[in-house]
Amino acid sequence: MLIDDWMPVYDAVERHERLIAFPTATVYAALWRTDFATSGVVRWLLALRGLGKPRRLTLASLTDRGFVALGDRPPREVAFGVAGKFWTPSGGRVPLNAEAFRRFEWPGCAKAVWNFTADDAGSGSTRLATETRIRCVDDAARRRFRPYWVVVGRFSGLIRISMLRAIAQEASR
């Protein structure tokens, strides 16, 4: 998997999945079409985080928010990365391309890889999953990240669950 290639070792992980009663190709196409800004939960939590209320938020628009595309293996997996000081009010995101992301080791920072996978679940259904892995570059980053994640990790999970729900709704259209 792409996520394993980009971040085999990590300090924190969060994974969520949903069974969707449509074929993998349909779900994967819906993944790219879904506007996550239509979800009140996503909009509210992003605004609370200081990321503003996006008018439109699709996977393709993530690169406008500091994420870097790490790979796309249609119709099975897509992965994005982001680096910075997530525990600061602005997130301290560092703009990087994919190769710079792989080499990123700035002291006091962390990086995260976030993917979606679509696997055939039989009977025309798809198991859609999303996983986020975070690796702190050093002990200083780990000390800052851990208390942040205790609080924010739960909200991050709510965002991911809401995204999976929105993708399922889009697949049904």
For residue 51, pLDDT beyond 60: no
Q: What is the pLDDT of residues 111-164, one digit of tens each?
A: 999 999 999 999 999 999 999 999 999 999 999 999 999 998 988 899 899 999
* Residue 125: its H or E element: strand 125-136
Q: For residue 120, what is the DSSP state?
A: E
Considering its fold, how many domains does the chain have in total?
Answer: 1
pLDDT value at residue 31: 98
Beta-carbon contacts of residue 10 (< 8 Å; ≥ 6 apart): 133, 134, 135
CATH number at residue 140: 3.30.530
Q: What is the pLDDT of residues 12-32, one digit of tens each?
A: 999 999 999 999 999 999 999
Q: What is the pLDDT of residues 65-117, one digit of tens each?
A: 889 999 999 999 999 999 999 999 888 999 999 999 999 999 999 999 999 99
Q: For residue 106, what is the DSSP state?
A: -
pLDDT value at residue 79: 98
* Of 40, 28, 32, 96, residue with least CA distance to 59: 32
Domain extent for 18: 2-171
The pTM score is: 0.93
pLDDT value at residue 44: 75
Q: Once rounded to an integer, what is the mean pLDDT over residues 40-56?
A: 69
Q: For residue 62, what is the DSSP state?
A: G
Q: Once rounded to an integer, what is the mean pLDDT over residues 33-37?
A: 93
For residue 50, pLDDT beyond 60: no
Give the pairing type, strands 12-20 and 77-84.
Answer: unpaired
Task: Please measure the distance between the N-terminal and C-terminal CA atoms of the chain and give it in whole angstroms.
Answer: 29
Q: Once rounded to an integer, what is the mean pLDDT over residues 47-56?
A: 64
* Maximum Cα–Cα distance across the chain: 49
pLDDT value at residue 52: 61
Three-class SS of residue 115? strand
Q: How does residue 47 score in pLDDT terms, banded at 50, 70 and 90? A: low
